[in-house]
Amino acid sequence: MPTSSPSPEPLPSRRIAETLRAAIENGELSPGDRLPSERSLAEQYGAARNTAREAIRILAEQGLVIAEHGRGVFVRERKRLLRFGSDRYSLKNRETGLTPFRLEAARQGRTARIEVLGITREEPPEDVAERLGVPTGIAGVVHRENHYFADDEPVQIVSTYLKWEEAQGTPLMEPRSGPHGIYGRLEELGHVMTRGRDEITARMPSPHESALLRLPPGVPVLEVLHTSFDQNAEPFEVSRYVHRADRAGLLYELPVEQAES
């Protein structure tokens, strides 16, 4: 009897991983449940501990489980996502007096906290310089760095860049920039946001981001590079949002222009 296909006898580590994956997906193991220990998996499958460990690594890479030092390996919870996006800059949110982040956190019954990391004059990163229309190589921008927490869990890092020549000596250099935040001050400087552009990418975090966001392995980040344009179609503000992708998503509402009759 010829085997219908080569069926190359899966590797031990894959086999263990697949068995566990199936158990998770059919509900035998529920979110929060502990997996058997590496040592007991190894014994159970007649393998070395490193092999069981490799199986766990595969599942962790897929975001299915999370290892906790000294406690065990657990099936991941799938928490509801905080959602940000096209209404992050919407004027109608202004009336609530809440920033979009606080609004979204409140909507989900979570506590919001915002930490101002620093407001410094700097040389802009290349991608920011390009979009803001300032030269690179000189300290031509103000960099405001904020960290956002929901239920004291870090959720996003935001770096806002403004032109130094404009921000210099204004409340834009202060942690609390006044009514309606920096957009309020920028309007007073003659910049009304009439158009925005969001460029979205996903990638694995740098070690720095990994530490700041306290990211477990296998969780990517969503990066949004936002550019604000004023009534003269001039860019006047660029922000980089880095979200942990397992806790935050993006929502864009798109009006579709109609064909002229």
- Residues at the contact surface with DNA, assessed by CB under 7 A: 11-14, 35, 37-40, 42, 46-51, 53-54, 56, 67-73
Return d(Cα 221, Cα 260) in angstroms, integer. Answer: 40
| CA 60 distance to own-chain centroid | 18
- Pick from 206, 211, 232, 234: which binds a second copy (CB under 8 A)? 206
Identify what 198 binds: DNA, a second copy, none; CB under 5 to 8 Å per kind: a second copy
d(CA 117, CA 158): 10
Q: Which stretch binds a second copy (CB under 8 A): 69-77, 124-132, 174-182, 215-223?
A: 215-223
Shortest distance in whole angstroms from residue 1 CB to a second copy: 28
* Distant-in-sequence, close-in-space partners of 163: CB < 8 Å, separation ≥ 6: 132, 134, 140, 141, 142, 236
From candidates 12, 15, 37, 81, binder to a second copy by CB under 8 A? 81
Query: How many residues form the binding site for a second copy (CB under 8 A)?
Result: 46
Q: Does 254 bind a second copy (CB under 8 A)?
A: yes
* Nearest distance, CB of residue 16 and a second copy, angstroms: 14
Q: Would you call 98 helix, strand, or coil by DSSP?
A: coil
CB of 116 vs a second copy, minimal distance in Å: 25
Count CA atoms closer than 13 A to 85's CA, side-chain side.
11
Considering the rule CB under 8 A, would residue 259 count as an interface residue with a second copy?
yes
Amino acid at 191: H
Tokens of 6: 């080569």
Quote the CA–CA distance of 52 and 68 in Å, as a whole number: 16
Nearer to DNA, 36 or 196 (CB): 36
